[in-house]
Structure 1
Amino acid sequence: MSGIARVDVLGVGISVVNRAAAVHEITRWIDTGERHYVCVTDVQGVMASRRDRELRRAHNESGLTVPGGTAMVRAGHRAGAPGMRQVTGPDLMLDVLARAVERGWTSYFYGGAEGVPEMLANHLGLRFPGLKVVGAYSPPSRPLTPREHAAITARINGSGADLLWVGLPTPEQERWMAEHRGRLEAPVVLGVGTAFDSHASRRSQSWATGPRRLWQRYARDNPAYLTRIALRRPRLRMPADR
C-alpha cells in the first residue's frame, strides 16, 4: 500500500488525492520500483463493495483508490480532507500518459471489445506524439481458463510494459487487478474502465447500449448510499491506521 491517507466511505478507503497528487504517487512507484494497482470508484463501486467482500478487499488493497465521483469528494471533505478532488478514469489516463511521454514509460492496453485497445492505442498515439505502446489485447468475453490467464500474463510481462491499462467492466476489472497483481511485472496497473471507449472515440456507441442498465444501477444504489452515509460518517484514516 502507498503512503497516501484515505477516507473510509462505508468500508471502502478512498485515497485523499487530486489529479496532480495521483500522478505524483504513480511516478514515485516507478522511480522506487514499487508495484501497485489503481482503482477508480464512485457510489456504485462503494455499494457493490458492501455486497461483495472480495471487491471491497480489492479496493482497499490497491495502491490508490481514487475518487471517481463527486459523492466521494464530498465524503472526503466531510471527513476533513478539503484538498480531495475528483479523479475520473479518462482524466487519469490522459494525465499519466502525458507523464509517460516525458519519462519514456511504455504502455500496454488490456480490455475493451475486439479492436478497441488497438483503436485506443492509435488515437492516443496521435494525441501524445512519442507515446510508447508495447501491446494491446482484447480478452474473450467469457470466463478464461487458468491456462489462458497464464498465457495473457506471460504476454503482458513479455512486453516489458511500465504501465498496464485495464479496461474491463466493474467489478471484473478490480478483481482481475487484485488477483493478477502479484504475477504482473509492470510497476503500475490502472483500472480505467470506460476510458477505453471514451478515448477510442466510441463514447456514443457505449452509452447508446447501456443507459437502462446504468439508470437501474443508479436508482438502486444512490438512495441506499445516501441513507447509509447519513448514519455512518466518513472517517479520515492516515497511512499508519490502515
Structure 2
Amino acid sequence: MDNKVDILGVNIDKLGIKDASEKIYSFLEDGGHHCVFTPNSEIIMAAHRDENFKKILNSADILTADGIGVVYASKILKNPITERAAGFDTAMELLKKMNDGKKSLYLFGSKPGVADRAAEKIKKMHPNIVISGCADGYFNAEKEKKIIDDINEKSPDVLFVCLGFPKQEKWIYEHKGKLNVKVMMGLGGSLDVIAGEAKRAPEIFQKLNMEWFYRLCKEPWRIGRMMDLPKFAVTVILKGKRAK
C-alpha cells in the first residue's frame, strides 16, 4: 500500500499526471480489460456512505486524486500525494501518447452532438488518433445495446465514459470485461470541456487550487454539493485511517 493512500476506505494511487498517463498507456500493451476512475472529495464522500459504490471504486486499476481536497486529505493522513491528477489533465496527457502510438478512441457520454464535436477537436490536436466512434449519454435499454454492440464492433483501445458520477463508474463496473476495450476511463464532464461546451477555471484559479470556487461562482446551484467539501475534511480528520 506504499504506492496508495487509504482515504475513508478508498485506495487512491499516489500518481501524478505524467505517471498516471504512462501507467494507463502501458495497459494498452499488456492486454486485458482495465478501468480508471478519478475520484474527488465529493465522490469519496459518496463512497464513504455507500459500501457498494466504494467497492466499485476500489475495483479500478487506477484511482487518481482528481481534487485538491483529496491531496490535502492524504497529507492529513501523513501519506502525501504530491500532485493532483485531475481526470481531464490525465486524459489530455494520455491523448498525446495515443497520438504517438496511433491508438484508437471511442467517446461516450454528454448531450447529443457533444461527443462528435469533441472528436473533431481531438483530431485537430492529435491527427494520428483513430476516432472509432461516438455516442451520447442519453439512452434507454434498446439504445444502450446498440452502443455496446457498436463499441464491441469498433474495438477501440480506449473508451472515455462521460456520464457523471456515480453513473459512469457503475456503468464501467458492470460492463468491464464484456467490452472489446483495453482501457475504460470515467471522465465526468471532460467531453464538454474538449468540445468547448464548458470552460475550465482560468489558470490562476488552477494554480491556486481554487477551481472549486470558480465553479461555484459560475454555477451557484452547486452549493448543496459543495457542502460535502467541509464534511469531507472533518470526516478525514475524525475517521481517516492511515494507509498501511
Who is 2:151 aligned against? 156
Who is 2:242 aligned against? 235
Who is 2:11 aligned against? 13
**Are 2:171 and 1:176 equivalent residues in the alignment?**
yes
Query: Separation in 2 of the partners of 1:112 and 1:97?
Result: 19
Query: Separation in 2 of the partners of 1:93 and 1:28?
Result: 14
The two structures have a TM-score, normalised by structure 2, of 0.86
Name stretches of at least 5 consecutive residues in structure 2 with no aligned partner: 201-214
Query: Separation in 1 of the partners of 2:82 and 2:56?
Result: 21
Who is 1:165 aligned against? 160
The Cα shift of 1:151 comes to 2.7
Name stretches of at least 5 consecutive residues in structure 1 with no aligned partner: 238-242
Query: Separation in 1 of the partners of 2:240 and 2:47?
Result: 17
**Are 2:226 and 1:218 equivalent residues in the alignment?**
yes
Q: Is the 8 A contact 2:152 2:180 kept in 1?
A: yes
Alignment: residue pair count:
229
Instruction: Describe the shift of the 1:41–1:28 C-alpha distance in structure 2 as closer, same or farther (beyond 3 A).
Output: same
* Superposition map of 1:44-59 within 5 A: 44-59=42-57
Taking only the aligned residue pairs, the percentage that are identical comes to 24
* SS across alignment from 2:177: helix
Q: 2:198 aligns with which of 199, 203, 227?
A: 203
Who is 2:184 aligned against? 189
* SS across alignment from 1:118: helix
Can you list the C-alpha shifts for 1:21-73, whole angstroms capped at 9, x where unaligned? 11121122111113211111111001111222222111110011110011111
| Aligned amino acid, residue 60 of structure 1 | N
Q: 2:31 aligns with which of 26, 30, 33?
A: 33
Query: Separation in 1 of the partners of 2:239 and 2:225?
Result: 22
Cα root mean square deviation, aligned: 2.2
Q: Is the 8 A contact 1:76 1:84 kept in 2?
A: no
Query: Separation in 1 of the partners of 2:237 and 2:145?
Result: 44
Query: Separation in 1 of the partners of 2:24 and 2:49?
Result: 29
Who is 1:240 aligned against? none
* Superposition map of 1:72-83 within 5 A: 72-82=70-80
Query: Separation in 2 of the partners of 1:62 and 1:186?
Result: 15
| Greater Cα offset, 73-82 or 126-135 | 73-82
